[in-house]
Structure 1
Amino acid sequence: MSKLTPQQDARRNRMGLLARANPARLAQIMPEMPKHNVLRAPETGAVMVRGRTGASGAPFNLGEMTVTRCTLTLEDGTVGHAYVQGRDKDHALRAALLDARMEHGDAEASKVLETLRLEEIARRQKRAEKAAATKVEFFTMVRGED
């Protein structure tokens, strides 16, 4: 596998964050959408999800997952892409718009992504704390017979 450039890695992380974002929250943070031209209208399809035994073994087909994708351009020609889980076409459109705006270097889009990133960190922390509360410590008591 080839190494990614820092720009490619940043875009991959950004697209992952947008795909994991709550669609309702994304619409709330970004109610207005800038002018754009749709190259590939949001469309729903399926992708094969692959897994690996023990995270390092031979790959196998785990199953299919529903995905919605979208590609668009801003008025200046900057292209944005998005793939999101599920059938939410609005989510895919907003994610593609934010991707294009970030490719263009939009500071406001950067603030939206930072908000989404902080909210994701808080969600993960809350889930980790909830899981930690159910943790059980097992220990063995030494019997005096030996």
Structure 2
Amino acid sequence: MAVQTKNSIEERRAWLSLLACAPSNVLAALWSEHGVRPEFEWLRAPEIGGVMVRGRMGGTGAPFNLGEMTVTRCALVLSDGTVGHGFVQGRDKTKAETTALVDALMQTNAAGNIRARILDPLTRQVADAQAARAAKAAATKVEFFTMVRGEDQ
């Protein structure tokens, strides 16, 4: 079993976050273009449940329960013993399965191919969506200024 370094753990967190936030239809399209579906066995078949979402006022206040959120999770193992996990918001078993497969493949020799065909296009799409959202918000920005009057000096 390979020992994960702090750097590899951060990289894994990043790709799992990207996959969890990706639109289902985009992820499904990229996965189908990839074309290779590896052999695997379920450790935990996709199941739908709920989690309690907690928050903090200002990011530093006392934690409080914000409410519940529906999630779908699964875990699988590839034929070579690599384990992949999928944990996504909502009731999308297919997205959870795809996330788990990508997670597992990113821990194998296929990582470069998966990054180029799935993760890099997703990263570009997320960046484009954020830029479009920022541009839309910037269009509504109002500049306020104060003019100095002679008697105020």
Question: With structure 1 as the length reference, what TM-score do the two structures score?
Answer: 0.91
Give the residue type in structure 2 aligned to 1:12: R
Map 1:80-91 to 2 at 5 A: 80-91=84-95
The reply to whether residue 60 of structure 1 matches residue 64 of structure 2 is yes
How far apart in 1 are the matches of 2:120 and 2:109?
14
The reply to whether residue 75 of structure 1 matches residue 76 of structure 2 is no
How many residue pairs get aligned? The number is 143
The reply to whether residue 136 of structure 1 matches residue 142 of structure 2 is yes
Unaligned runs of 5+ in 1: none
Which of the residues 111, 114, 133 maps onto 1:127?
133
Q: CA deviation at 1:13?
A: 0.9
Which of the residues 100, 103, 106 maps onto 1:102?
106
The reply to whether residue 21 of structure 1 matches residue 22 of structure 2 is yes
Unaligned runs of 5+ in 2: none
Q: CA deviation at 1:110?
A: 1.4
Q: CA RMSD in A?
A: 1.4
How far apart in 1 are the matches of 2:93 and 2:9?
25
Q: CA deviation at 1:43?
A: 0.6
Percent identical: 54
Q: CA deviation at 1:105?
A: 3.4
